[in-house]
Amino acid sequence: MGLVLKLFVALPGILLALTIHEFSHAYSAYLMGDPTAKYEGRLTLNPVKHIDPIGGLLLLLTTLFGGGMTFGWAKPVPINPYNFRNAQDGTLITSLAGPVSNLIAAALCGLLFRLGIIPLHPTEENLFIQILYLFVFIFLQVNIGLAIFNLIPIPPLDGSKVLYGLLPTELAYKYSVFERKYAFFLPLIFVILIASNMLNFILFPFYSFFFKLFTGIPLF
């Protein structure tokens, strides 16, 4: 497939995956008692409301040139844990909702391949089949990448909030203090991980696991 066609197909797949991720955060927060995201206009399926320029661009570039492994992020959904009926449980469920929704979407894509509804290695000359295959394949890749990347336990990613929700109350409080105190420096970790290619090294085994789980095809 040419790069232009891949770009044409990748963009809607990326926007849809990001929207699923952030809408799931917003909706779960609303169900748990926090209407902040709704009041901020984030309880919507409009992708424009959820795009983060840097995270979206990184996701597009890794989709086009990353050799299969993708990662990136969207604009974080605002939540107020004081509105939750239980702050830790609400934070945990809301934070997990995004990655879990992406894994469910990826699993459904994998099911299309496993059932033979879409051939995993299309040979047909039919352009529609080629485009459909490419869209579903990229959509699967992006959803897996979004899920595992956002579960890294480093603020402001979802994984840090998941860790907060799982910790005992006293440790959770200390962790939140640590997070606020060093919030400015923590993003530098991502710069180092990306620049050194360590991020790809760390995430690829998880990515490969889910890819094989959903499609039945090993990546190596």
Mean pLDDT score across all residues of the chain: 87
> Nearest 5°: CA angle at 100, between 64 and 107?
65
User: What span, in angstroms and rounded, lies between the C-alpha atoms of 20 and 101?
Assistant: 7
Q: Residue range 134-159: average pLDDT? A: 90
Least confident piece of the model among 58-67, 73-82, 165-174: 58-67
Residue the block writes with tokens 């995201």: 37
pLDDT given at position 154: 82
pTM of the full structure: 0.90
Q: Which pLDDT value is given to residue 1?
A: 52
Summarised one tens digit per residue, pLDDT across range 66-75 is 766 788 888 9
Question: What's the rounded Cα separation, in Å, for the pair 10 and 138?
Answer: 6
The CA distance from 172 to 90, in Å, is 13
Rounded CA separation 25/90 (Å): 11
Each residue of 111-141: pLDDT tens digit?
999 988 888 777 666 778 888 888 999 999 9
Q: 220 falls in which pLDDT band (50, 70, 90)?
A: low
- How many residues are present in the chain? 220
Three-state secondary structure string covering 109-137: HHHHHHCCCCCCCCCCCCHHHHHHHHHHH
Of the two residues 21 and 134, the one the predictor is more confident about is 21
Residue 204's nearest CA partner among 140, 120, 145 is 145
Alpha helix stretches (DSSP H) within 32-86:
36-39, 53-65
179 in catalytic set: no
